Amino acid sequence: MANYTGRAILASLLFVSAIGAADGDALFKGRCTGCHGSDGKGKAAIGTPDFTTAKTQSGISDADIIETITNGRKGTIMPAWKGKLSDEEIAAVAMYLRSLGRK
């Protein structure tokens, strides 16, 4: 439980620090569209999620989004971006993913 709480606090701090620090939209378009589509709706053929739906948005926490971007998902094509993107850039992409659910 303490680890989850720590991740939630870290996620909150990263979201705050990402404001103005990195352009999540540009990062997403430059690194993620091959698998997630330019509109964030995912690609059914490869099983990537549709980030524009309420179901997807409500089914994942901010900390889980950051964890997935940072460390990837074993057994899937989702790579780890740790060491390739800064913490601020990862947080900016996570914020951008959240914005897709509000469009």
- Residue % of the chain over a pLDDT of 70: 78
Q: How confident is the model at residue 102 (pLDDT cuts 50, 70, 90)?
A: confident
* Share of the chain residues as helix, strand and coil, in percent rounded to the nearest 5: 60, 0, 40
Bridge-partner residues for 85, per DSSP?
82
Per the model's pLDDT, the better-predicted residue between 22 and 56 turns out to be 56
For residues 27 and 85, the answer to whether their CB atoms sit within 8 Å is: yes
**Measured distance CA(43)–CA(57) in Å, rounded:** 16
**Measured distance CA(54)–CA(101) in Å, rounded:** 6
pLDDT digits (tens, 9 = 90+) for 27-53: 999 999 999 999 999 999 999 999 999
Per the model's pLDDT, the better-predicted residue between 71 and 12 turns out to be 71
The CATH superfamily of 2-100 is Cytochrome c-like domain (1.10.760.10)
Q: Is the pLDDT of residue 21 over 50?
A: no
> Where along the chain do its domains lie?
2-100
**Measured distance CA(1)–CA(55) in Å, rounded:** 25
Region 52-68: mean pLDDT is: 96
